[in-house]
Amino acid sequence: MDDLLVIGGGSAGITFAKFGASLGAKITIVEANKLGGDCTWTGCVPSKSLIHAAKIAHTAATAARYGIAAQPSIDFAAVMGYVRSVQEQIYQHDDAPEVLRKAGARVIEGRARFYDDQTVEVNGELLRAKHFCIATGSHPKIPAIAGLAEAGYLTNEDLFLVDELPKRILVLGGGPIGCELGQALLRLGAEVSLIQQGSRLLPKDDHAMGAALAQALKAEGLQIYLNTKTLKVEVNAGAKQVTIQTANNEPQTLVVDAILVAAGRTPNLHNLGLDAAGILYDPERRIHVDQYLRTSNPRVFACGDVIGRYQFTHVAAQEAGAVLRNALFPGQSAMKYELVPWATFTDPEVGHVGLNEDQARAKYGSSLRVYELPWSANDRARTEDATQGFTKILAVGRKEQIVGVHIIGQGAGDMINAAVLAMGTGVSASKLGGLINVYPTRSQGLKMTAQRSFTRWLEKPWLQRALRWYFR
């Protein structure tokens, strides 16, 4: 009997296969489609590969300001060929069945469904295990818009199968996926408009990040509509006519060739037999789990997108580690979410960890201190002509405990990891500001921002008077 049978071969499932089997546990992974999941085939890997190609095109197109004459000729089919080659490389190295089998896991290709509270059925065979974990991921949420289904649309699940770039694209959704792909497609030659129902882009990030990103995207030519509803879609002469209601309640029609839906995600819960297993869930939202990631069935755990918490590859992998701990060994260890970082890989990038400013003010009130530094103050940013953005550190109390860090700028996704380390080890803002950093680097901007925690004292009138007296 298996120690753990996992339904789903995405980032969580692969973590189970590699690390669980390395411990000597008997692990089985059941995958209905292709191992690697959303990250490899429709999410992180293809989108970042596309973004990389688009950035090269943008760099070439804007090279004249550096004294370099270049005008890129973009072969979109070749770009997508590059994207797929990266997917295949990562799949063969990390995700393929033979890789997981070599690690010691059993891999079954098929669709798993709970037969009862301690049995699953796969390809007509009944399988039992000491414990199970559901890690089936999620799929794009499609908004209820009149005529959308009839007109046709793209999502991240089929965009990377396209070899011809639509001339005019409308993106529905101003979250990370919509912003990343919208900018990439714009840089590759499409005319792109983006509709966001809310008042800002990246609504889960610090409020200043969305505003700064919107400014950067607009400067490149991306048309952004905030506080806007999509009313209906019609097809006329091969084009899609999209009727929208803007912030001033006036109807407007956009004519586009393709619609990219990036309006959130829904967990994959269909046809899993959850009722037969006694597992509580909300059909459109999540499987219910406790702090140990255990479902209402004590034999069954769940992690990743299906539990509706943080829909990121790195979180799913971390949750898989927690499930391994709790399913295979005595005792229980709660999953901790206090320091979950994330990044949006636009240009400039956006990095986030901890509380945003609104949350921190609500929790800490007047004890909150906000330290900001524009990227124009960073010499490396100046040398690379990448001065868009700023760094924000939120600290509280006399000890200057860091409770949130938010960065918008080139390489912010990498820089935010240093903030995670600082917060996780209890490094104060003043301590962070006193560390030696390599010059010139972008990450030095984090140190320079933290230095505001003690340079602010130099602005105190009483200290200025004392210093003038001392150096008289």
Angle among Cα 121, 122, 126 to the nearest 5 degrees reads 45
Instruction: State which H helix or E strand residue 433 sits in.
Output: helix 429-433
Is 228 annotated among the ligand-binding residues?
no
Is 136 annotated among the ligand-binding residues?
yes
Is 174 annotated among the ligand-binding residues?
yes
Q: What is the DSSP letter of 95?
A: I
Is 42 annotated among the ligand-binding residues?
no
Could you tell me the CA-to-CA distances from 250 to 16, 230, 243, 471 in Å, in that order? Answer: 52, 12, 10, 65
Is 210 annotated among the ligand-binding residues?
no
Torsion sign (Cα): 165, 49, 43, 340: negative
Q: What pairing do the DSSP bridges indicate for beta strands 265-267 and 2-7?
A: unpaired
CB burial of residue 106 (10 Å; 0-12, 13-18, 19+): middle
Show the DSSP H helices in 338-389 as ranges. Answer: 357-364, 379-383
Closest CA to 341 of 305, 309, 303, 315: 315
The SS3 assignment for 267 reads: strand
Is 273 annotated among the ligand-binding residues?
no
Is 130 annotated among the ligand-binding residues?
no
- Rounded distance between C-alpha atoms, residue 180 and residue 440, angstroms: 28
Question: Tokens representing 34?
Answer: 């292709």
Is 434 annotated among the ligand-binding residues?
no
Is 319 annotated among the ligand-binding residues?
no
Closest CA to 214 of 55, 346, 27, 402: 346
Is 177 annotated among the ligand-binding residues?
yes
- Rounded distance between C-alpha atoms, residue 99 and residue 91, angstroms: 9
The SS3 assignment for 125 reads: strand
Q: Mind giving me the DSSP string for 148-204?
A: HHHH--B-TTTGGG--S--SEEEEE--SHHHHHHHHHHHHTT-EEEEE-SSSSSSTT
Is 414 annotated among the ligand-binding residues?
no
The SS3 assignment for 465 reads: helix
- Rounded distance between C-alpha atoms, residue 367 and residue 373, angstroms: 20
Is 431 annotated among the ligand-binding residues?
no
Is 175 annotated among the ligand-binding residues?
yes
| Cα 222 off chain centre by | 21
Is 20 annotated among the ligand-binding residues?
no
Annotated binding site: 48, 136-138, 173-180, 264, 305
Annotated binding site for NAD(+): 173-180, 264, 305
Annotated binding site for FAD: 48, 136-138
